[in-house]
Amino acid sequence: MKKISIAIDGHSSTGKSTLARQLAKSLGYVYIDSGAMYRAVALYAMENGLIGETLDEAGLVGHLQALELGFKLNPETGRSEIQLNGENVEKQIRTIEVSRYVSEVAAIPEVREKLVRLQQAMGAEKGVVMDGRDIGTVVLPGAELKLFMTAAPETRAARRYKELLDRGESVTFEEVLRNVRHRDHLDSTRATSPLTRADDAIRLDNSDMGLKEQYERVRSLADRILNAKK
């Protein structure tokens, strides 16, 4: 059976990664978490003194050559997890501190150029599910199935808040909601590859949708495309 590429874009905390993992596992495809790559760059900036009162953009650009990013299967979780210069940083990149800076880091043109090249190389072969902010518009414009996921900011903040509490983080709902809205603004207004829905992307509002219903709806879309390619 011929394989396709699936591009999933949308706002933060809409469950893009959860859906992408489900689809990749059921289809036997490779899952690529582009957001983890930007989070890893933000973590690198934090750990190397490039983020203080402000982000040292020029300094970070000067460090880009020293950054090696990739994914490696973690046998304990069964998932492909982000590697930063050979170290698994999957847990470190999920903190609220990294979330505060990731959209600002992702807005730097040189960062996006480097990561888009890496993502396009990873997706050169079909049989990938990739999620992010500009996958259907910039990274994989030829993807056979494109989705744009969204939900109310309060709904997304509640999901993210629970996730952070489950990890033992000390945060307030108001802090998480502010972060969600701030990221929406930065993602949608940045000069390079802003968050927009591709013309041929299917809009999926999952404010009132369960994971099972969401997965089944999208899997049926993928199956329809795959059946047409037989």
* 92 has a pLDDT exceeding 90: yes
Instruction: Evaluate the CA torsion angle 135, 122, 80, 115 in order and state its sign.
Output: negative
* Alpha helices for 131-229 (secondary structure H): 153-166, 173-189, 211-229
Model pLDDT, residue 144? 96
What pLDDT was estimated at residue 53? 84
pTM of the model: 0.85
**Is it the case that residue 8 has pLDDT exceeding 90?**
yes
Coil, helix or strand for 128?
strand
59, pLDDT greater than 80: yes
Instruction: Note the pLDDT tens digit of each residue in 107-123.
Output: 999 999 999 999 999 99
Calpha distance 106→190 (Å, rounded) = 9
Residue from 106, 146, 115 nearest 130 by CA = 146
List pLDDT tens digits, range 182-220. 999 999 998 888 899 999 999 999 999 999 999 999 999
| CA–CA gap between residue 70 and residue 135 (Å, rounded) | 17
Fold of 5-219: Rossmann fold (3.40.50)
- Radius of gyration, alpha carbons of the chain: 17
Q: How far apart are the first and last CA of the chain?
A: 6
pLDDT at residue 76 above 90?
no
- Banded model confidence at residue 229, pLDDT cuts 50, 70, 90: confident
pLDDT digits (tens, 9 = 90+) for 135-147: 999 999 999 999 9
